[in-house]
Structure 1
Amino acid sequence: MIIIRAIIINLFIINIAGYNDDDERFPLINDRVVIGVLAQYPYKDEHQYIAASYVKFLESSGARVAPVFCGRSSDYYETLLPKLNGILLPGGGSPLDEGPYAETVDLIIETSKKFYDNGKYFPIWATCLSFEKIIVHFLNGSLQWESECHVQNLSLNLEIEKSIINDPKSTRMFRDMEIMMPNFFDILQKHNVTANYHRICMSLDEWKKHKELVENFQLISQNSYGNHTFVSMFEHRKYPIYASMWHPEKNQFEFVINDHVGNINHDRWSIIVAQYFGNFFVNEARRSCGRFNDKLDESKHLIYNYNECCREYTGNDGKSSYEEIFRFPFDANHGSSSMIKGSILVINNE
């Protein structure tokens, strides 16, 4: 009787938790999560930067952040990435097919896949520009899918795929939704909770043309605006790779208003949505066993080391898209920006 009761209890827990292979292979055991945030470049100089909203987004869900710089040697990534518990790839403006940003993201994606295949979890969250880069990577560098949609400075709802609404546990992203946020789909679909800042889109029709995408990724949501219906969220069917065309970090932490930004919804629904996805991704990182050598090694990599030298309040200059940024010197973390290449191919996303 005791054994039968234990089996029934375990089945109940599995059903609630949205059990799948990852839950068994990679349990939620790490409560000292350190997530990397990839640095980006401004348009007019070579100082790498990170918008502080990405850092706050992860911290508000219980993680700490270590900056990861582009254009470093392979030794830098081979040493740092195994110590981290995942990485957030930001929006911004960089070439998608060449240069330090593109090369670094390609390396990070392949590292995440290799880790997973070898029994280690390393989740990736890709936003806006990096959403596009995930597509480019899995299409072997192709940019032929791009279409101009100019969904700029606009908050929209999310149109969730019907199959996911019928079975949330069919996805990693929503497998624990009933515990974390009941009726979450109603919030996503009825309220304008996603901040969109992109001129390039992948249309839904274009998505369906690419076997590499349809077979490897689960489409989470789409959006319609004007004459465009575009893909807005997806996750990899095997690897812990997640992508959003919209910016969950902006809802909570970006309040700048100028000619280019400002139409970000900050109501309670938008904050709930941002917090949900932050909690989800940090929980994914809790499946990772990445560890630094010791507390000193860990502390010297954290972004707190750059508060005094590099953290800038930019929300008052009338031009910036961000309340705060970390602008790093060329030699940050003993690296070099010498690999940065000039290019006319710049995707102007936030």
Structure 2
Amino acid sequence: MAPRAMFAVYAAIIAKVICCTSAQSTKQEKELNFRPIIGILSQELSRGMKIALNESDYTMYIAASYVKFFETGGARVVPILINQNETYYRNIVKSVNGLVFPGGSASITNSSGYGRAGRILYDLVLQEAEAGVEIPLMTICLGFEMLMYLEANNTRPLVSCKAQSRADPLYMRLGWQDSQLFGEAPDDVIQTLRTSNSTSNFHKFCVLEETFYELGLNESYNILSTSYDDNALEYISTVEHQSLPIYGFQWHPEKNLFEWKFDSIPHTGDAVRSSQYMANLFVDKVRQNHQKFESEEEELNALIYNYQPIHIEKLYRSSFHQCYYF
């Protein structure tokens, strides 16, 4: 075949490949939800908050850093109130595209509104999954501890540890390359997480690997990483569900971007990019869910935009800079 003819054949093949790839990409984009909404669970006021806000009617809060974190990924946020009836939580689960159990200091048991709501929401997420509807769930610090507690059928999986105000690397476990969270992460993100003190830790309790297996948590979840506390105690720092988009972080990806109270919080460019990757990845998962509120009015009334954050560190010594109160 003459060179000119061969060039024409190759050009036609390349054009066809580009065309098909472009069409496939367009089809995939059309199948995504570009107006995703994430529900973040609130919790009871801390003792310091109650004292600082003693003349208010507020009973619950969400740290603004969580709201900002998921907004940077391209999602909107709905606050999920505690101490509501089951119908309220069912409606939330049917209306939003993803859920978050944030960190804090509430009880993870049914002795708190946070714990009671968490139980209902988690059960509903699993029920919806059985019906073929996946609702991504991210759990952070206290939320991760509650996730393990709920999956263990209300059996406490925690031991005391010392990991307050620490920045640490992640020690990846076998199989992390095939995980939802880390499998497609850019090399520089993995390098940052594995080799630098890039994850922010503020917790007094940990889940140990031996407890994880004793409680049968390995039947549903995979350990992706571990970390070490002040006394070199190795604990589980990241998990994900074996088939569903449910993730557990003992560390705080939101703090690298939005919290400045402690010098231990990593604010290097690499640490910030690794946290931003987590926000983007979760929102990408959330975009695959197409649920929505029954009406535009209901959606508008539910959004966090109806509330204003308060500069809480001006009122008392807080680890947060801003909080939403309800």
The answer to whether the Cα contact below 8 Å between 2:38 and 2:98 also exists between their aligned partners in 1 is yes
1:36 aligns with 2:39: yes
Q: Distance in 1 between matches of 2:170 and 2:201?
A: 11
- Tell me if 1:312 matches 2:310: yes
Deviates more, 1:187-196 or 1:41-50: 41-50
Long gaps (5+) in structure 2? 1-8, 51-57
Offset at residue 163 of structure 1 (A)? 2.7
Amino acid at match of 2:106: S
Is 1:78 the equivalent of 2:98? no
2:150 match: 137
The alignment partner of 1:88 has SS state of strand
| Aligned mate of 1:237, from 237, 242, 251 | 242
Q: Aligned runs of 1:1-350 on 2, under 5 Å?
A: 29-44=32-47, 45=50, 47-99=59-111, 100-143=113-156, 145-164=157-176, 168=177, 170-177=178-185, 181-210=186-215, 212-225=216-229, 226-256=231-261, 261-307=262-308, 311-317=309-315, 319-328=317-326
Alignment coverage as a number of residue pairs: 298
Aligned position for 1:348: none
Query: How far off is 1:147 after superposition?
Result: 1.4
Q: Which residue of 2 aligns with 1:336?
A: none
Q: 1:297 to 1:253 in 2, by over 3 A?
A: same
What is the DSSP-based 3-state SS (H/G/I as helix, E as strand, rest coil) of the residue aligned with 1:299? helix
Deviation, structure 1 residue 206: 2.5
Identity %: 27
The residue type paired with residue 128 of structure 1 is: C
Larger Rg: 2
Letter of the 1:286 partner, please give it. Answer: R
Q: What is the rounded CA distance, in whole Å, between the counterparts of 1:135 and 1:173 in structure 2?
A: 18
- TM-score, with length taken from structure 2: 0.85
Q: Do the aligned partners of 1:121 and 1:289 also contact (CA within 8 Å) in 2?
A: no
Runs of 4+ in 1 over 4 A off after TM superposition: none
SS in 1 for 2:227: strand
Q: SS of the counterpart of 2:222?
A: strand
Rounded to whole Å, the distance in 1 between the matches of 2:90 and 2:168 is 39
State the partner residue of 1:21: none
Distance 1:98 1:53, change over 3 A: same
With CA pairs under 8 Å and 6+ residues apart, which has the higher RCO, 1 or 2?
1
Letter in 1 for 2:59: H
Structure 2 CA distance for aligned equivalents of residues 28 and 270 of structure 1: 32
Residues 196, 74 of structure 1: alpha-carbon distance in 2 compared, 3 angstrom cutoff: same
Confirm or deny: 8 A CA contact 1:160 1:185 kept in the other structure. Answer: no
RMSD: 2.5
Aligned partners of 2:174 and 2:224 also within 8 Å? no
Task: Compute the displacement of 1:9 (Å).
Answer: 6.4
Q: In structure 2, what is the Cα distance between the partners aligned to 1:205 and 1:78?
A: 35
| Cα pair 2:37 2:76 within 8 Å, conserved | yes
Aligned AA for 1:321?
Answer: S
Q: Against the structure 1 CA distance between its residues 28 and 235, is the aligned structure 2 distance closer, same or farther, given a 3 Å change threshold?
A: farther
Q: Is the 8 Å Cα contact of residues 158 and 223 (structure 1) preserved in structure 2? A: yes
- The answer on whether the counterparts of 1:58 and 1:278 sit within 8 Å (CA) in structure 2 is yes
TM-superposed CA distance for 1:81, in Å, is 1.8
Unaligned residue ranges in structure 1 (runs of 5+): 18-23, 329-350
| Partner AA of 2:163 in structure 1 | V
Helix, strand or coil at the partner of 1:291: coil
The DSSP-based 3-state class of the residue aligned with 2:175 is helix
Looking at structure 2, the residues matched to 172 and 95 of structure 1 have their Cα atoms a distance apart, in angstroms, of: 29
What residue identity is the alignment partner of 1:50? I
Partners of 2:263 and 2:82 lie apart in 1 by 29
SS at the partner of 1:125? strand
Retained in 1: the 8 A contact 2:200–2:251?
Answer: yes
TM-score by length of 1: 0.79
